Amino acid sequence: MKRYDAIIVGAGPAGIFSALELANKTDLKILMLEKGPDIDKRKCPAARGLGCVNCEPCSLLSGWGGAGAFSDGKLTISTSVGGWLNEYVGEENLLKLIEYVDSVYARYGGALKIYGEDIDEVERIERKAALAGLVLVKQKIRHLGTEKCLEVLQKMRRSLNNNVEIITRAEVKSLLVKNGRAEGVETVDGEKIYGKYIIVAPGRSGAEWLKSESQSLGLKTLNNPVDVGVRVEVLATTMEELTNILYEPKFIYYSKAFDDQVRTFCVNPYGEVITESYGGVISVNGQSYAERKTENTNFAILVSTSFTYPFREPIAYGEYIARLANLLSGGVIIQRLGDLEIGRRSTEDRIGRSVVKPTLKVATPGDLSFVLPYRYLMDIREMIEALDKVAPGIHSKHTLLYGVEVKFYSSRLELNEHLETRVKNLFTIGDGAGVTRGLIQASASGVIVAEEIIRREKEHVKKSSD
């Protein structure tokens, strides 16, 4: 019978930071289980511009390092974006956690430059945005770059070699619970592994599994919103004034037609558009490198929708829209903004005449109005017009739109301030648990749980000695 002090399910940023803290500050016997390949075995065709081939599990989203391994490594040093941890630990404690996590990334080789520190320039952009009906989310960002992010995670992996047992290609089927207390996990191969503390960090790709397990255990969940939209690609020079100062300008807009919240997300200066697979559904994303640059900048425009009773399946709704795009195009649709506005589909010839040359070569020219609801299209077009007042040139007939981009935010479990469920010693963290949506807060959630386990172990030792 295998027995450990702590079992970590999932080796993304959340699980990694739990492992780092526990390995460096305790003598606990720790096991990490990851359903994807190890970090040096992860090969994603989409990340190399070859398009998605539906790897199972998706090499972009699964494997040691999680989705963050192939992200462009933006560390947002702010409590205002990236998740809901402030609701559990408060703004002041969260900021301390974020600064600590940022220092750990820097220690493992993160970039030294931080964007968004020029207060005068940030305020100038903020005023300009306000005149266009946009709210600028002020934040500081440390950009690692896709290749540097991978290097940092590889260093973290090596540092855990002697202290943590890591098993990849090991998928967990179920959580073992007895009398309201976590006991261990069972793998898809039928192996039962026991542990005192169970930390569940499955990432976005494991969100549906965690939801299913939670329901079987009778744990209460709350639906997070679903974000649906497009990835926009423009010439990098169009956005240089913003990206040189902010790197990732985050704007929020409330549409005139429907009063929906629309926002920019995941800006990749001089980057490239890629695809990713989520449960066999192909959607679009973006990345940028620290060294390798293109002539374009890409970013997402997303419309947030919070569904109310009786509808309880926001993830299924997002998947439905993405599948429709896949059905019509075989993957991702690309359309010039000019073609969308006059109501015609884009063709290869029209895309070829565009001033903006697509960085995703496998996208199929088509018409996004056959996929996205009218409401979303109106919201997106309004947002583009507003952005053009801050960065002239975005509202151009040559601007490229890729669809669809969907962000699935997992159902959020009912947790206490230590991110522990009603099951004793069962913790859920990261994007898969619905409490974070980004590298920095996912990593911070791992620290929160590790600190609580360390506190409990010290208390246990003290009581034993008494």
pLDDT confidence of residue 277: 84
Regarding whether 144 and 98 lie in a shared domain, the answer is: yes
pLDDT confidence of residue 289: 79
Q: Judge contact between 409 and 164, C-beta under 8 A.
A: no
| 134 belongs to a structural domain | no
| CATH number, residue 42 | 3.50.50.60
pLDDT confidence of residue 51: 57
| 387 belongs to a structural domain | yes
Residue that is last in its domain, among 361, 389, 408: 408
pLDDT confidence of residue 53: 61
pLDDT confidence of residue 54: 62
Regarding whether 262 and 175 lie in a shared domain, the answer is: no
Distance of CA 391 to the CA centre of its chain: 26
| 432 belongs to a structural domain | yes
| 132 belongs to a structural domain | no
Q: Which residues of the chain have pLDDT under 50?
A: none
Regarding whether 316 and 273 lie in a shared domain, the answer is: yes
Residue that is last in its domain, among 360, 380, 408: 408
| 133 belongs to a structural domain | no
Contacts of 88 (CB under 8 A, 6+ apart): 415, 416, 417, 419, 435, 448
Regarding whether 234 and 355 lie in a shared domain, the answer is: yes
Regarding whether 200 and 252 lie in a shared domain, the answer is: no
Q: How far is CA 205 from CA 11, 37, 60, in A?
A: 12, 14, 10
Q: Report the alpha-carbon distance of residue 58 to residue 279 in Å, rounded.
A: 8
Regarding whether 453 and 327 lie in a shared domain, the answer is: no
Q: Report the alpha-carbon distance of residue 447 to residue 450 in Å, rounded.
A: 5
At residue 199, φ and ψ (nearest 5 deg) are: -110, 115
pLDDT confidence of residue 55: 66
pLDDT confidence of residue 233: 98
Q: Report the alpha-carbon distance of residue 79 to residue 332 in Å, rounded.
A: 33
pLDDT confidence of residue 178: 96
Residue with structure tokens 């305790």? Answer: 26
| 15 belongs to a structural domain | yes
Peptide bond into 57 cis (omega under 30): yes
Alpha helices in 108-173 (DSSP H): 119-131, 146-159
Range of the domain at 232: 226-408
pLDDT confidence of residue 423: 97
DSSP track, 38-65: -GGG---TGGGTS-----SS-TTTSSTT
Nearest to 356 by CA among 222, 237, 256, 242: 237
Residue that is last in its domain, among 393, 408, 423: 408
Distance of CA 303 to the CA centre of its chain: 16
Regarding whether 150 and 25 lie in a shared domain, the answer is: yes
pLDDT confidence of residue 59: 66
pLDDT confidence of residue 66: 86
pLDDT confidence of residue 67: 76
| 118 belongs to a structural domain | yes
pLDDT confidence of residue 143: 84
Regarding whether 436 and 352 lie in a shared domain, the answer is: no
Regarding whether 188 and 45 lie in a shared domain, the answer is: yes
Regarding whether 117 and 199 lie in a shared domain, the answer is: yes
Regarding whether 332 and 253 lie in a shared domain, the answer is: yes
Residue with structure tokens 């890629």? Answer: 274
The separation between the first and the last C-alpha atoms of the chain, rounded to the nearest angstrom, is 31
Regarding whether 149 and 48 lie in a shared domain, the answer is: yes
Count of domains for the chain: 2
